Amino acid sequence: MKNQSAILFLSCEDRKGIVAEITHFITMYEGNILNCDQHYDESGMFFMRVEWDLSDFAIPSGKIEPAFEPIALKFAMDWRLEFSTERAKMAILVSKYDHCLYELILKNRAGEHNGEIKMILSNHEDCRPIAEYFKIPFHCFPVTKETKKEVEQQEIALLKKEKIDLVVLARYMQILSGTFIDAFPRKIINIHHSFLPAFVGAKPYHQAFSRGVKIIGATSHYVTEDLDQGPIIAQDVARVNHRDNVSDLVEKGRNLEKSVLSRGVRLHLEHKILVFGNKTIVFD
């Protein structure tokens, strides 16, 4: 088993001495730095992710935050601290399409995702057999226009009760309300087609085919109240040509969707993402 490590994310206005102060803090208390990555952008902002081994670190993990606070205040940092051994509790929301659901379950079972799938929620019964096969609790909440608000309250209550850390929308065909999103800030990841909003609504691959597109894609992103406009985590594309029919586009698109969603979830669970405004810095 790997030793526990601490992972510090920070953003602040760039100034001299930030890196020196942080590395001095870690080494002064006998911490061994494992990874250190930083980024400066043209707006004058500085971003950093630093990870260190806690085996010989003199400060107990529960007291690191107050010990670091004076440095954070000195540089007016927006920061957070994570720990490598913390295993996130995940909930997967799905409707009828199951390709992304299978991918997430299999990656989790293979140990490629450092998280625990606590439940699957759906507005349809179609995926219940999958949940039962893998022995994952399944909850069905049928949604209508009239019951949507009430159903969301029930879902939020269940997710909170189980202390869910990450909600993954694996082709969940419902638009989440602001209330739902606010209950899990920067903790909801969705997948959609990269060629949105050019092809909005139903059957986007059919629309793409009719326009003769040459590239299709998929994007995983954090969910915000602006539909499909949240901070982007991962993207990928596949080339298509005139020989590809609608079925070919659908197959290629679904392969992209499941791989890009899985990658976005993995990056989140491995604490590789720093969100700044409506963009991400991905330290991969």
Whole-Å CA distances, 198 to 201, 208, 216, 257: 10, 9, 12, 17
Q: What pLDDT shows up at residue 211?
A: 86
d(CA 246, CA 100): 20
By CB atoms closer than 10 A (0-12, 13-18, 19+), residue 284 is: exposed
d(CA 133, CA 98): 13
Average pLDDT over residues 74-80: 97
Going by the DSSP 8-state scheme, the letter that residue 60 receives in this structure is -
Number of other CB atoms surrounding residue 268 within 10 Å: 27
User: Of 119 and 225, which is predicted with more confidence?
Assistant: 119
- Which stretch of DSSP H or E encloses residue 143? none
Q: What pLDDT shows up at residue 213?
A: 86
Residue 1 has pLDDT above 60, yes or no: no
**Token pair listed for 188:** 């909801």
- Using one digit for the tens of pLDDT, what is the confidence trace for 158-174? 999 999 999 999 999 99
The type of residue at 218 is A
The type of residue at 198 is A
User: Of 17 and 203, which is predicted with more confidence?
Assistant: 17
Report residue 203: phi and psi, to 5°.
50, 60
Q: Are strands 115-122 and 138-140 parallel, antiparallel or unpaired?
A: parallel
- Using one digit for the tens of pLDDT, what is the confidence trace for 95-111? 999 999 999 999 999 99
194 — pLDDT class (breaks 50, 70, 90): confident
- Using one digit for the tens of pLDDT, what is the confidence trace for 57-73? 999 999 999 999 999 99
195 — pLDDT class (breaks 50, 70, 90): low
Residue 27 CA, distance from chain mean position:
31
**Token pair listed for 44:** 């004058």
- Just list the catalytic residues: 228
- Using one digit for the tens of pLDDT, what is the confidence trace for 181-191? 999 999 999 99
Does residue 86 sit in helix, strand or coil?
A: coil
Q: What pLDDT shows up at residue 38?
A: 95
pTM over 0.85: yes
